[in-house]
């Protein structure tokens, strides 16, 4: 059985009358890179703040490394986090800020600080005051602060916010390395789903404070729909042709394209079939199923379900 | 908690603000000693003593007395320490890092209070050392025995530092309740003024025990002996416990 690092059970959170979280339950196991997905205001940050006790827990239970939330001070020592914007003392340099984190965590090693700076690619800015860092550099400093004490569990709230493409790739490698070399379990949220897809091994979907669904990457790869998009002049005619040739299922996203939810068709044959039946084919593209698409469909289903209730 | 104290001590040594505070304290102390002009907020200053201080040639013990009477002004200088040590954690949101490091809320509040107390103590010690050094440079007489001088200096140092730390503990509570560094700093500014005003105008005698600067003046004059400290220490102890207790409650209930 996999070892649970975090167990979130029936946690609800209200801000005044606003129900920010509604009986959320999920579990993160050792070695997971758990991606939290949800729209703005879905409740991702709230979940992270509850785990790290920045927000008081009133309903439900959370356990971290097997300790329950009423007293998991020790568990928090094994946890690193960067929640919402990274925080640093503005008048202190990169190294000084990291030294403070090291002292707070009782770390002695000077090398660990250099390693962390190197890890996030801030070596050139070691002696720069935090206030003079760029947005992405500040983000990197925040990451360095979170990983410095070598946490067993790392919580990152939109860590690639503001990073350049190279930075995004570096962070991806960094997380991969932490996960593989130090067996760090990671909880991460991001709005850049294509990126999250490349990093995470499990995905949890939150919508309006409710935990909708959890899938592993393998399940997602099976479920998410790959297919072929056709650009045509006459969709109804094209639909007829596909219907009569028993090519199904397909959908019509707009009045000039058709999406066939099947990835293994012979495209040469398909285009020939359409053209021979008098359909003008303007384009044909194979489409990998994406996390984005999966998410959109899931949200659509959920909202439709809500309306039926 | 020791880790947090170390981290804060390190942080202080890296901030110009900290050294500036020390310089201001030294400058203020030397200035008063040299010019023999007592300044500060006093409700019930002893006219005779003031008269004496204004006209005599200051001996070193006079210097200590004069400096004690001027100590309320130090609040405005030392306020910088409050802002650096605890204010910055909230204004720059670094409390997120601090609290995630695994320190309990109680240890956090206590560590901040202890750090304030220690740095205030360092500053006040330097404040009184500066009087002695400046007086010696100016070739002033001792005015008493070295033993008595040092005893008076150390008692007033501890008293003044402790009293200031109590005011800061109230400011910590205000910071926890309002999340505003500005409001809590304003409190520090207003407190000595308000207390001495009410003490005089409203004649509320119970205020005697929170009129910290009035009390330290009496200590300096020798009109309040250490054996009469009881009610003051009790009042301060109660205020301290209440402030730390309520700060703890406030921070535990807070959405951070
Ligand atoms: N301290 C607070 N007081 C009142 N409402 C709050 C508070 N914190 C969060 N909320 C509300 O709770 C909801 C969830 O917020 P949360 O920050 O968890 O969203 P999120 O999923 O992180 O969104 P985003 O993607 O924009 O970061 C929001 O509607 C927000 O307005
Ligand atoms: Mg958020």
- Inspect the interface and report whether the beta carbons of B94 and A106 lie closer than 8 Å: no
Closest CA to A163 of A130, A133, A140, A190: A140
Q: Residue B49: pLDDT band by 50, 70, 90 thresholds? A: low
Substitution site in A46, A58, A83, A158 for ligand 1 pocket (most atoms within 8 Å of beta carbon): A46
DSSP for residue B71: G
Distance from CA of A233 to the nearest CA of B (A): 56
* Integer angstrom CA distances of residue B128 from A56, A303, A305, B2, B20: 45, 72, 75, 28, 17
Chain B CB contacts of A96 under 8 Å are 10-11, 14
- Judging contacts by C-beta atoms under 8 Å, the chain B residues touching residue A87 are 92-97
- Taking residues A87-111, report their average pLDDT: 93
DSSP state of B42: -
d(CA A270, CA A66): 56
- B256/A87 CB distance under 8 A: no
Residue from B157, B152, B174 nearest B222 by CA: B152
Q: Select from B11, B252, B253 the Cβ nearest to the Cβ of A100.
A: B11
Cα A3 to the center of its chain, rounded Å = 22
DSSP state of B243: H
Any ligand 1 atom below 6 A from CB of A41: yes
pLDDT interval class at A132 (50, 70, 90): very high
The model's pTM is 0.85
Is the per-residue pLDDT at A43 higher than 60?
Answer: yes
Q: Are A227 and A260 in contact (CB under 8 A)?
A: yes
Rounded to an integer, what distance in angstroms lies between the CA atom of residue A148 and that of residue A130? 17
Å from CA of B95 to ligand 1 middle: 19
Q: Quote the pLDDT of residue B212.
A: 77
**CA separation for the pair B54, B57 (Å, rounded):** 9
Domains of chain A (ranges, CATH numbers): 4-215 (3.40.50.300), 226-288 (3.30.70.100)
B200, pLDDT greater than 90:
no
Smallest CA–CA distance from A105 into chain B, residue? B101
Q: What is residue B57's predicted lDDT score, i.e. its pLDDT?
A: 77
Which range of A95-104, A244-253, A293-302, B187-196 scores highest in mean pLDDT? It is A95-104
Model pLDDT for residues B97-137, shown as the tens digit of each residue: 999 888 888 999 999 999 999 999 999 999 999 999 999 99
- Continuous segment of H or E residues that includes residue A232: strand A227-232
- In this prediction, residue A80 has a pLDDT band, given cuts at 50, 70 and 90, of very high
Tens-place pLDDT, residues A45-65: 999 999 999 999 999 999 999
DSSP state at residue B85: I
Min Cα distance A101 → chain B (Å) is 8
Q: Which residue has the higher pLDDT, A197 or B216?
A: A197
Angle among Cα B237, B88, B75 to the nearest 5 degrees reads: 50
In B, minimum Cα distance to A90 occurs at: B92
Measured in Å, residue A83 CA sits from the centre of ligand 2 at 8
Q: Which region among A171-185, A239-253, B38-52, B86-100 has the lowest average model confidence (pLDDT)?
A: B38-52
Q: What is the mean pLDDT of residues B171-186?
A: 93
Average pLDDT, integer, range B143-163 = 88
Tell me the per-residue pLDDT of A180-212, one tens digit each, with 9 for 90 and over: 988 999 999 988 888 888 899 999 999 999 999
DSSP reduced 3-state for A215? strand
CA distance A120 to A138: 11
Q: Which residues of A touch B102 (CB under 8 A)?
A: 73-74, 76-77, 79, 105
Q: What does the angle CA A233 – CA A239 – CA A241 come to, to the nearest 5 degrees?
A: 100
Q: Please choose from A13, A14, A20, A47 the residue to mutate so as to test ligand 1's pocket, defined by most ligand atoms within 8 A of CB.
A: A20
**Over residues B231-255, mean pLDDT:** 90
Who has greater pLDDT, A76 or B203? A76
What sign has the CA pseudo-torsion B36, B37, B43, B46? positive
Angle value at C-alpha A105, between A99 and A107, nearest 5 degrees:
65
- The per-residue pLDDT for A96 is 95
CA distances to A240, A258, A265, A300 from A261, rounded to whole Å, are 16, 10, 10, 17
Asked whether residue B45 carries a pLDDT value surpassing 60, the answer given is no
pLDDT over 90 at A308, yes or no: no
Cβ-contact A120, A168 below 8 angstroms? no
Helices (H), ranges, chain A = 44-51, 73-77, 94-104, 110-119, 135-147, 165-181, 193-199, 217-223, 235-244, 267-276, 291-308
- Are residues B256 and A77, on separate chains, in Cβ contact within 8 Å? no
Long-range contacts of A243-252 (CB under 8 A, 24+ apart): A245/A273
Domain boundaries, chain B: 2-252
Tell me the mean pLDDT in the region A146-165. 91
Say which residue, A227 or B130, is predicted with more confidence.
B130
| Spacing, Cα A209 to ligand 2 middle (Å) | 12
**pLDDT at site B71:** 85
Q: What is the DSSP string of A37-92?
A: E--TTSSHHHHHHHHTTSS---EEEEEETTEEGGG-HHHHHTEEEE-SS----TTS
| Mean pLDDT of the region B132-158 | 88
Q: Are the C-beta atoms of residues A185 and A79 closer than 8 Å to each other?
A: no
**Distance between CA atoms of A296 and B236, rounded to whole angstroms?**
61
């Amino acid at each position: 059985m996999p070892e649970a690092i975090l167990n979130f059970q029936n946690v609800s959170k209200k801000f005044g009358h606003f129900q920010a979280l509604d009986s959320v339950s999920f579990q993160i196991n050792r070695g997971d890179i758990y991606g939290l997905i949800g729209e703005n205001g879905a409740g991702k940050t709230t979940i992270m703040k509850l785990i790290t006790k920045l927000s008081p827990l009133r309903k439900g239970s959370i356990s971290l490394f097997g300790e329950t939330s009423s007293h998991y001070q020790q568990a928090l020592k094994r946890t690193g986090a960067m929640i919402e914007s990274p925080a640093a003392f503005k008048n202190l340099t990169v190294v000084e800020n990291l030294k403070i984190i090291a002292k707070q965590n009782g770390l002695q090693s000077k090398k660990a600080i250099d390693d962390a700076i190197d890890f996030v690619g801030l070596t050139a800015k070691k002696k720069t005051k935090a206030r003079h860092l760029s947005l992405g550099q500040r983000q990197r400093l925040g990451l360095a602060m979170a990983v410095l004490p070598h946490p067993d569990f790392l919580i990152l709230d939109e860590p690639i916010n503001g990073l350049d493409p190279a930075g995004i790739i570096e962070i991806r490698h960094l997380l991969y390395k932490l996960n593989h070399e130090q067996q760090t379990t990671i909880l991460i949220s991001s709005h850049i789903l294509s990126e999250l897809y490349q990093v995470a091994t499990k995905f949890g979907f939150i919508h309006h404070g409710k935990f909708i669904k959890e899938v592993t990457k393998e399940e997602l790869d099976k479920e998410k729909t790959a297919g072929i998009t056709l650009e045509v002049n006459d969709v109804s005619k094209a639909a007829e042709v596909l219907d009569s040739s028993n090519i199904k299922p397909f959908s019509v996203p707009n009045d000039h394209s058709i999406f066939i939810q099947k990835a293994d068709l012979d495209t040469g044959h398909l285009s020939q079939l359409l053209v021979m039946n008098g359909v003008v084919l303007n384009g044909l593209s194979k489409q990998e199923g994406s996390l984005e698409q999966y998410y959109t469909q899931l949200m659509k289903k959920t909202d439709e379900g809500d309306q039926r209730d | 908690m020791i880790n947090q104290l170390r981290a804060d001590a390190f942080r202080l040594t890296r901030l110009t603000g900290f050294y500036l505070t020390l310089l201001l304290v030294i400058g203020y102390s030397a200035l008063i000693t040299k010019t023999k002009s007592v300044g500060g907020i006093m409700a019930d200053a002893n006219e005779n003593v003031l008269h004496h201080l204004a006209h005599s040639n200051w001996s070193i013990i006079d210097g200590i007395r004069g400096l004690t009477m001027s100590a309320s002004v130090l609040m405005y200088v030392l306020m910088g320490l409050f802002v650096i040590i605890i204010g910055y954690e909230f204004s720059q949101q670094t409390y997120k890092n601090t609290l995630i490091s695994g320190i309990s809320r109680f240890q956090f509040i206590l560590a901040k209070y202890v750090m304030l107390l220690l740095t205030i103590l360092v500053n006040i010690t330097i404040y009184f050392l500066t009087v002695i050094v400046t007086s010696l440079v100016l070739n002033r007489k001792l005015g008493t025995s070295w033993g008595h001088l040092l005893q008076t200096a150390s008692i007033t140092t501890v008293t003044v530092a402790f009293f200031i730390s109590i005011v800061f503990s109230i400011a910590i509570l205000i910071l926890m309740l309002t999340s505003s560094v500005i409001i809590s700093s304003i409190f520090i500014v207003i407190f000595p003024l308000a207390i001495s005003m009410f003490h005089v105008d409203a004649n509320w005698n119970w205020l005697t025990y929170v009129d910290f600067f009035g009390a330290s003046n009496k200590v300096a004059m020798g009109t309040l002996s250490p054996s009469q400290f009881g009610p003051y220490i009790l009042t301060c102890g109660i205020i301290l416990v209440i402030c730390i207790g309520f700060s703890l409650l406030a921070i535990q209930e807070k959405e951070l």
